[in-house]
Amino acid sequence: MVIKPSKSCNIPDLDLSTWLFGDPDKPLSDEPILFSAEEPERLNLSKQQFRSYAKRFAKGLIKAGLKPQDKVLLFSGNNVFFPVVFMGIVMAEGVFTGANPTYIARELAYQLKDSGAKFCLTATASLNTTLEAVDSINMSRRNVFVYDDDFSDNSLRADLIKKAKIGGHFKDLLDDNDSFKWKALRSRKDVNTTAVINYSSGYVCHTKILT
């Protein structure tokens, strides 16, 4: 039986970036809207900061070699920069795919290979699992980046990155400025552009880029 909601709304034919932020450059609110569950006072982002970081990440990904429809896999639990990663990938015309943070190497390797991921962002605690997975499918370690919401200069982390011979930290993919302008998507072809590949319970779901 189909159950219909009592209320509905009209969803505009807009790309997700424009739907969320409007114009790429217009001023936005400085009121925090994204909060870290563990440190909400210290780690939070306003809508203005959210857009700025996403644009910097999009620009950095493209500089690192991301092409339209290239996949980026995030292997991490939630933190305040999770939406930034997602929107940066979408703005760069890439495809986001998130892996279950409890995966073992074999499971992660499957998703990396099946999705065709070009880059992998991984939580520091999951780095060894990630390295085992990428090595098993001959994916370059230079396309692996440690991901967290700590942007401080951490010598222990720097040593870990050097020893593992990976690409660096998430912050290394952030461009110095947020002058990036995303592509406005309007055509019928754009409607069928994949933005997300979700893996769950043996099923793969492709989500389109328009709202």
Q: For the chain, percent helix, then strand, then coil, each to nearest 5?
A: 35, 20, 45
Domains along the sequence of the chain with CATH: 16-208 (3.40.50.980)
Distance CA 49, CA 84 (A): 9
Judge contact between 73 and 115, C-beta under 8 A. yes
> Would you list the DSSP string of 9-30?
-PPPS-BHHHHHHSSSSS----
130-165 pLDDT tens trace:
999 999 999 999 999 999 888 888 888 899 999 999
- Give CA angle at 83 (108, 126), nearest 5°: 30
Give the number of C-alpha atoms closer than 13 A to the C-alpha of residue 125, restricted to the C-beta side: 6
Cβ-based neighbour number of residue 35 at 10 Å = 14
pTM attached to this predicted model: 0.89
Mean pLDDT (the chain, rounded): 90
With a pLDDT cut of 70, the percent of the chain lying above it is: 95
pLDDT score, position 204: 56
- Give CA angle at 195 (188, 125), nearest 5°: 175
- Give CA angle at 171 (78, 180), nearest 5°: 100
